[in-house]
């Protein structure tokens, strides 16, 4: 054990070694990322209009924030790596990426379900809509989504980075991903992988009940 070297950075081998393909990757995402960024910023700006203070626009604003976060935590890093022809991401950079990516990804499905519920109430129970989907109820539902996303992300991130990474630090990925990182553990992480998958399935199914 004393001869093992603790991992301080990870190598993301999903990027091609061919310089032309690296530049192509950068150019493609340079075109896609600003479009996604602009679209979500416009949605947020529209939702902030005081004439549109309705549950639908309130939830749309939350959705645009989650989408902005999801694309911004991975794409800029990926583009920078392609442009500078590097595959390295620091240990702490990987922690930050895993935490926020999981947060944005896991918070989005329950938000979409609440938006569907909002439409259901508006169509099927229009007379009770204002009393059921009042401002307080909307804020409480949105808050529960954000808190749930943080807790789920913290649990997965803590479970992943509580292990010791020694030796191998290479992954065939474009970004840090929990199940791939668990395979780099210095001991058998099978139970941790099963636990992470089981909790994710439970969290996803729980959104529908």
Q: Percentage of the chain surpassing pLDDT 70?
A: 79
CB 89 within 8 A of CB 97: yes
- Rounded Cα gap, residues 84 and 121, in angstroms: 51
pLDDT in tens, 121-163: 888 888 888 888 888 888 898 898 898 888 888 888 887 777 7
Q: Which domains does the chain have, with CATH numbers?
A: 9-206 (1.20.1070.10)
pLDDT in tens, 43-82: 777 766 666 667 888 888 888 889 888 888 888 888 888 8
CB 98 within 8 A of CB 157: yes
Helix or strand run (H / E) with residue 89: strand 88-90
Residue 186 has pLDDT above 50, yes or no: yes
Joined tokens for residue 63: 């959705």
- Rounded Cα gap, residues 202 and 28, in angstroms: 36
């Amino acid at each position: 054990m004393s001869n093992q070297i603790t991992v301080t950075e990870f190598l993301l081998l999903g990027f091609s070694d061919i310089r032309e393909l690296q530049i192509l990757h950068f150019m493609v995402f340079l075109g896609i990322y600003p479009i996604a960024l602009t679209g979500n910023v416009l949605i947020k700006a529209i939702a902030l209009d005081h004439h549109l203070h309705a549950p639908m626009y309130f939830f749309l604003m939350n959705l645009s924030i989650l989408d902005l976060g999801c694309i911004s935590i991975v794409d800029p890093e990926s583009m920078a790596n392609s442009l500078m022809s590097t595959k390295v991401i620091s240990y702490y950079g990987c922690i930050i990426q895993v935490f926020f990516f999981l947060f944005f990804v896991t918070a989005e499905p329950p938000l979409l379900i609440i938006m569907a519920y909002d439409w259901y109430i508006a169509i099927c129970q229009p007379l009770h809509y204002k009393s059921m989907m009042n401002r307080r109820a909307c804020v409480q539902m949105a808050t529960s989504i954000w808190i749930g996303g943080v807790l789920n992300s913290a649990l997965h991130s803590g479970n992943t980075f509580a292990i010791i990474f020694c030796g191998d630090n290479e992954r065939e990925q474009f970004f840090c991903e929990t199940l791939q990182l668990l395979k780099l553990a210095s001991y058998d992480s099978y139970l941790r992988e099963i636990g992470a998958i089981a909790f994710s399935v439970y969290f996803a199914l729980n959104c529908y009940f």
